Amino acid sequence: MPRSAQDSSSSSYDSDSWSDGTLDSQPDSADLLDIRDNSEDHPNEEAVPERISQQDAVERAFEAKRSSFEEELVIQLCFLHLQHQLQQNYPSRQAAARLREFKRSHAANHSRTLQTTIAGFLSDERAQDMEHMVGAIRVMLQADIPENDENWIRTLAEGPLPRQHVFLQTAQRAIYEGLQPTTGHLSAKMVSDTAVNLAGNALYLFSLRLLWPLIPDDKRLQIQQWILRYRESSEDAGAAEPSSSSGQGADPARG
């Protein structure tokens, strides 16, 4: 269930900034990771274990995706710190060549090994910034999503949603604005852009669940309210169409 609404005057966002894509159509159902069994309107008892098995399979797939997402996000952030250091130390073409060679040589490294290796190439200040950033990201991603948020996200498998790219843009802005006051512009942009780019490769609901821990509580509430408004407006539009068609059919002379 969405959290209870807050006074709109206390929000740091203008309400219009969270309504982008309100008229966007629903994405393909396959993108929503719909785990429903639609074979019967009233499934019998034998169908229940099958649905539970499907849900378990989805959860196992998500846990694997979450683990790889954290690993790849940390790797990409470490590479970005190295890239900035090389660009500071060398001409652009030489810096790019050194970065390519480093990536090739360390392609098989685990993120923690890579983090330690890259720290040795950075200035003390940049290495400290990287360690703080990566440590904070690991803590955020490993935190459990509140149960009420998990339950709400699962309900999104049914019904219309804004298109995934619109959600990703909204999430990127929310992550950035949540981090910027404490990390500064460059670090907040680095994390939000990289996380959203990686999550965009996942199915819709997976991408939402992957990014949710990086979104601060007040922005989560705003996203929930935004999606709720979208679904309500979509349902209202769907309900109006049959009524309009019926009226025209009953009295075609009426304009």
* DSSP-assigned states of every residue in 14-56: -GGGG-TTTTPPPPPGGGGT-----S-SS--TTHHHHHHHHHH
The domain boundary, picked from 98, 119, 143, lies at 143
Total Cβ atoms within 10 A of residue 83: 16
Residue 168's closest CA among 137, 138, 139, 202?
202
Residue owning tokens 């703080």: 132
The domain boundary, picked from 105, 123, 143, lies at 143
In a domain, residue 28? The reply is no
> Could you list the residue range(s) of the whole structural domain that residue 67 is in?
47-143
DSSP state of 201: T
> How many domains does the chain contain in total?
2
3-state helix, strand and coil shares in percent for the chain, rounded to the nearest 5:
75, 0, 25
On whether both 150 and 75 belong to a single domain, the answer is no
pLDDT at 26: 44
CA 109 and chain centroid, separation: 26
Residue 166 and residue 162: Cα distance in Å, rounded? 6
pLDDT at 159: 84
Residue 203 and residue 188: Cα distance in Å, rounded? 24
In a domain, residue 19? The reply is no
In a domain, residue 174? The reply is yes
Residue 73's closest CA among 185, 160, 190, 152?
190
CB neighbour class for 115 (10 Å; exposed up to 12, middle 13-18, buried from 19): buried
pLDDT at 240: 54
pLDDT at 58: 86
On whether both 153 and 139 belong to a single domain, the answer is no
In a domain, residue 223? The reply is yes
In a domain, residue 24? The reply is no
DSSP string, 111-169: HHHHHHHHHTTS-HHHHHHHHHHHHHHHHHHHSPPPHHHHHHHHHTTSS----HHHHHH
Residue 2's closest CA among 236, 231, 170, 210?
231
The domain boundary, picked from 125, 143, 161, lies at 143
On whether both 173 and 195 belong to a single domain, the answer is yes
In a domain, residue 245? The reply is no
pLDDT at 234: 84
In a domain, residue 166? The reply is yes
pLDDT at 29: 39
State which residues of the chain have pLDDT below 50.
1, 4-41, 243-255
pLDDT at 14: 40
Residue owning tokens 């049914």: 158
pLDDT at 52: 66
Residue 113 and residue 106: Cα distance in Å, rounded? 9
Q: Are 43 and 180 in contact (CB under 8 A)?
A: no
pLDDT in tens, 168-221: 999 999 999 999 999 999 999 999 999 999 999 999 999 999 999 999 999 999
On whether both 125 and 156 belong to a single domain, the answer is no
Residue 202's closest CA among 72, 73, 62?
62
pLDDT at 241: 53
- Identify the sign of the CA torsion 175, 179, 185, 191: negative
pLDDT at 158: 87
In a domain, residue 193? The reply is yes
Residue 39's closest CA among 59, 57, 54, 58?
54
pLDDT at 47: 55
